[in-house]
Amino acid sequence: MSFTRQSALNDRHRKLGSDLSSGWNDMPIPQNYSADPYDETETVRNRAGLFDVSALKIVNVSGPEAQAFLNHLLTSDISKAKPGDSHISNIVNANGGLIDDVLVYVDSPDHYRVSHGGGAFEEAAAAAKGNFKVTVARDDDVHILSLQGPLALETLARHTPMKLSELGYFHHGKTTLFGKPVSIGRGGYSGERGYEVFCSAADAPYLWDAILEAGKDAGVQPVSWSCLDIVRVEGGLLFFPFDMTHAETTPWEVRADWTVDLSKPDFVGKKALVDKKGKERSFIAGIEVAHSKAIEPGTKISANGKPAGVVTSSTFSRHLMKSLAMAQLKPEFTALGTELTLHDGQDYQGLVVKMPFYDPLRLRTHPASERT
């Protein structure tokens, strides 16, 4: 495959055993290293693992009407976020269908950084920006090193002047790390306490090596995207567009009501979302499957012989010793304890359970001591 974007860490990934044949967002990614992804998962759950997630797209949105521009596109109200906040939101089309999920880093009232994956944020932004005094520019230089796990804090804290222990969940700030200028955000995609380090391409190899050296004695290791997929399914974290199975999946159907602020005067798709609320065709739900392997995404699901839904993401969790699946299920089959049949070559029995599968109270990312 040919890629238009490249990570400055490619040589590190090759030395770790990746052939870089897989890609996402026009960048090769280390889907696998020589290590077993289940062993990598054990590293993330008990120590800390370092991911290269530079394949995410970062877009700078700035100007006197940057806030109004984002409020026009986003389902949430960005005006309620303060500088230093990181703001999760969604973007829908005029029919209320999800076209992207984003994480907005609020640097100031007129400057934002938007992180997004494989969705259409940039296409929507290009169509709308002519109506606002705003500049929208992709930053392909930025690299993102994500250290996830219970030892992430102590691994980084000694090497930055930022009071990292005081940085709240989904907050960020500019600082230095190992003497290099960075922005550090608390968050991630693992179900663990973690930090994302935003740096330049030129500094990425030095920081990658420095983080691993700092955590070497504690067992901190680089981890692959296959590991990332395991931990994000265990944590019940959705992946756009794979967990949105309808052509016009609404935020209501992925239980993302909390990202929609209908009190805003208007935004793209607001009327459609108002009309479709309460008319959901399906809801995302968690299923434990009586199987020793992962069920294939796309697998059909039935209940009492009736079509019930489809698997969207899955993994076998060696950490939990369970086969797990996320699925879009018809509303009448989403009650906890509902018995299901999954048709993956042969029939397997499943049970609707609470998500996230791992750490259901999210105490790893939201410690009780930080809750008000």
Domain locations in the chain as residue ranges: 10-54+142-234, 251-353
Residues 293-333: tens digit of each pLDDT: 999 999 999 999 999 999 999 999 999 999 999 999 999 99
Q: What pLDDT is stored for residue 247 in this prediction?
A: 84
DSSP string spanning 179-193?
TEEEEEEE--SSSS-
Shared fold status for 10-54+142-234 and 251-353: no
pLDDT band at 1 (very low <50, low <70, confident <90, very high): low
- Is the confidence at residue 347, as pLDDT, over 80? yes
Phi, psi of 39 (to 5 degrees): -65, -40
- Is the confidence at residue 71, as pLDDT, over 80? yes
pLDDT band at 372 (very low <50, low <70, confident <90, very high): confident
Q: What pLDDT is stored for residue 2 in this prediction?
A: 81
191: which 2 tokens?
Answer: 């179900």
Residues 29-55: tens digit of each pLDDT: 999 999 999 999 999 999 999 999 999
CATH superfamily label, 10-54+142-234: Probable tRNA modification gtpase trme; domain 1 (3.30.1360.120)
**Nearest-angstrom CA–CA distance, 78 and 129:** 17
Residues 200-253: tens digit of each pLDDT: 999 999 999 999 999 999 999 999 999 999 999 999 999 999 999 998 999 999
**Class of the CATH-defined domain 251-353:** mainly beta
Residues 72-98: tens digit of each pLDDT: 999 999 999 999 999 999 999 999 999
Q: Average pLDDT over the chain, rounded to whole? A: 97
What is the reported pTM? 0.97
Phi, psi of 80 (to 5 degrees): -85, -5
**CA distances from residue 13 to 152, 155, 194, 207, 224 in whole angstroms, order as listed:** 20, 21, 21, 14, 9
Q: Which helix (H) or strand (E) holds 212?
A: helix 204-215
